Amino acid sequence: MPLTDHLEELRKRLINSLIAIAIGFGLSYGFSKQIFNFLLSPVLKVMPENSHFIYTSLTEAFVTYIKVSFFAGIILASPVIFYQAWKFVVPALYDTEKKYVFPFVIAATMFFIMGALFAFYVIFPVGFKFFLSYTTQDIYAMPSLKEYLSFVTKFLIAAGLCFELPVIMFFLAKLGIVNKRKLSANRKYAVLIIAIVAAILTPSPDAMSMIMLSIPLFALFELSVWVVYFVDKGKKIVASGP
């Protein structure tokens, strides 16, 4: 396809994704308060007495609920977004590979949600407890609604994308960019990269939080190695067939 056709196809997929997000936003707006209360729950459980959330401008609370609805809209639209991503790259795939559309959408959505849930239920409690441990009789925690929501949503999306590693490796293996031998030979570099990513993403700078994030990331890398192995094995079977 010419470059202009690729750009037109990308435009079409982005528009479809934005429409799905807009629909998700509309469905979520009526529950924005409940959704935000749910997002607040990890920090509220560890907040000391006399600590509470604040907003410093008249529109901040309203805008916060709008952002919550938009974030929830992205989550609801994630299957459509992954489907549009598939449709964009499908011209580069063989006919036998195009049948993986539904497994791809299901797997990508599942891993994304798993990453967000892991961050929410495992990383956040440890990280927030660490940050709030500096509260004293003279120092009270009064986080801003806007800053808290920005931190939480960015981290949840980042964690969800990190958990897409096996899905990404599947495609790279299909395209012949990676194979099991390369991944196994570069395992030591993968450990280093995972440690760096964990240090950047973890909400608290203590070693325990980094380890808690590094373990699932390394497990995902090992899962990716096996995914690539089965892709390579499938290619060999096809190549040796009649």
- pLDDT per position as a tens digit, 209-222: 677 778 888 888 88
196's CB contacts (< 8 A; 6+ apart) are none
Sign of CA dihedral 4, 13, 90, 171: positive
> Do 76 and 134 share a domain, yes or no?
yes
> Do 47 and 120 share a domain, yes or no?
yes
Distance CA 160, CA 169 (A): 15
> Do 43 and 68 share a domain, yes or no?
yes
The neighbour count for residue 166, using CB atoms within 10 Å, is 20
> Do 102 and 213 share a domain, yes or no?
no
Residue 125's domain spans which residues? 1-162
Sign of CA dihedral 197, 202, 206, 207: negative
Q: Which pLDDT value is given to residue 223?
A: 86
Amino acid at 213: L
Domain count, the chain: 2
Q: Do residues 82 and 105 lie in contact, with contact meaning Cβ atoms separated by under 8 Å? A: yes
Amino acid at 21: I
Task: Name the token pair of 241.
Answer: 């067939």
Backbone angles phi, psi at 46, to 5 degrees: -115, 0
> Do 170 and 72 share a domain, yes or no?
no
Q: Which pLDDT value is given to residue 209?
A: 67
Amino acid at 37: N
The neighbour count for residue 102, using CB atoms within 10 Å, is 11
Range scoring the smallest mean pLDDT among 81-85, 125-129, 159-163, 238-242? 238-242
In the predicted model, what is the mean pLDDT of residues 105-109?
88
> Do 90 and 190 share a domain, yes or no?
no
Q: At what angle do helices 101-118 and 60-89 cross, to 10 degrees?
A: 150
- What is this structure's pTM? 0.79
Q: Which pLDDT value is given to residue 171?
A: 76
> Do 72 and 191 share a domain, yes or no?
no
Q: Which pLDDT value is given to residue 74?
A: 92
Range scoring the smallest mean pLDDT among 40-49, 134-143, 193-202? 193-202
Which residue in the block uniquely carries the two structure tokens 């293996």? 173
> Do 136 and 171 share a domain, yes or no?
no
> What value does the mean pLDDT of the chain take?
83
Domain boundary among 136, 162, 188: 162
> Do 175 and 157 share a domain, yes or no?
no
> Do 124 and 172 share a domain, yes or no?
no
Domain boundary among 110, 134, 162: 162
Domain boundary among 131, 162, 193: 162
